[in-house]
Amino acid sequence: MQKKYLFAPGPTPVPERVLADMALPIVHHRAPEYSVILQEVRDNLKYLFQTKQEVLIFTSSGTGAMEGCVSNLLSAGDHALAVRGGKFGERWFDICKAYSVDVKAVDVEWGHAVSPEAVEKALNEDPEIKAVYIQASETSTGIYHPVKEIADIIKTRENTILIVDAITALGVVDLPQDEWCLDVVLTGSQKALMLPPGLAFASLSDKAWGFVEKSTLPKYYFDFKKEKKSLGKNQNAYTPNVQLIVGLREILREIKEEGLEKVFERHGSLANATRLAVQAMGLKLYTVDEPSNALTAVWAPEGIDAGKITKLIREKYGITIAGGQDAAKGRIFRIAHLGYAGCFDVITAISALEAVLKELGYKFELCSGLKAAQKALFGE
């Protein structure tokens, strides 16, 4: 028997007591019992998003919320700007194209963060840009974009809004929606929310709701106005994934019990230990600028295909980490440390990584990474 470990940046592990809650008999989504559950979820989502606004809930992957953030905010021919510095920045661009939005890109070399000045320059060159689409944490590269600084630029522009994909950032780093004037924040269930895939969330500012009122793009299932109206009655517009909502109730209770500040500190500590560990082994971080605390992206050693690392660590030790995507495929591997993660998850991942790299012929001092991780986590 081989024990399985999940250290990919989504799906992430689910706490045992949450799995137990989701195994309880299902309740009907129009029954009074479900309304009680949904009310608690709605209240606690506001705590997580740090907003007074309603947080919309959809049964879909995070991409569903991304699509809704185009179809509900813009009209055909509207001008938009997408920060394209990884696989998911490209997704923003492609969704805009699919809806006949006139989208331009700020292209950023993979592994780098966008500069606020580049975004401001693009906005000055085209004053008709109505929406700026960005990732907070670009999962494919492990970079964190300067969301607050970009929000500071956009909040003074009456006819432009900022839409933040926080799918691997919300619940990992501090993203106070109302305080930072983030017009739209969206996320998914399978990352720091520690649930299986299947729920997507989006919260809109008053300014963004003004854009919703003017949007003429086609929409049906991902209809933000319809969902907001239903939530006002403490219902979902359509049949939700009831068991995931039940699990979400318990997850949000756990997050409130830990406290957001401690949640962010924990993720920062795990990320720091992982980075120090791989660097102690002589490996190089893929991220040139500020790395995301959700995951650590690492260059594979010269002469070793990253795919061999992810394959061997999975087959021999039951550990799933992620490889690179598109331009980074075969060149990097990614170790996640978000959601239901603690000190000994980092220790386990680094120990297995050392064993695999030794087997693949990489020359380094065995236990150098493990010692660095332990020192960072537990002190001298």
The β-bridge partners of 129 are: 79
pTM (2 d.p.): 0.97
Q: Are 11 and 192 in contact (CB under 8 A)?
A: no
Residue 177 to residue 156: CA distance in whole angstroms: 16
Cβ neighbours, 10 Å, residue 306: 22
What does the pLDDT look like over 12-46, one tens digit per residue? 999 999 999 999 999 999 999 999 999 999 999 99
What does the pLDDT look like over 266-325, one tens digit per residue? 999 999 999 999 999 999 999 988 999 999 999 999 999 999 999 999 999 999 999 999
Q: Are 47 and 187 in contact (CB under 8 A)?
A: no
Percent over 90 (pLDDT), the chain: 98
Q: How many helices (H) and strands (E) does the chain have?
A: 14, 14
Beta strands 102-107 and 79-84, pairing class: parallel
pLDDT value at residue 1: 83
What does the pLDDT look like over 111-141, one tens digit per residue? 999 999 999 999 999 999 999 999 999 999 9
Percent over 70 (pLDDT), the chain: 100
Burial class of 189 by CB neighbour count within 10 A (0 to 12, 13 to 18, 19+): buried
pLDDT value at residue 327: 86
Tokens matching residue 220? 């049906």
Ordered domains of the chain (ranges, CATH): 5-11+259-378 (3.90.1150.10), 16-257 (3.40.640.10)
Distance of CA 348 to the CA centre of its chain: 23
What is the rounded average pLDDT of the residues 209-227?
Answer: 98
Residue 263 to residue 112: CA distance in whole angstroms: 25
pLDDT band at 82 (very low <50, low <70, confident <90, very high): very high
Q: Are 41 and 252 in contact (CB under 8 A)?
A: yes
Report CA dihedral (241, 245, 246, 251) to the nearest 10 degrees: 140
What is the rounded average pLDDT of the residues 227-241?
Answer: 97
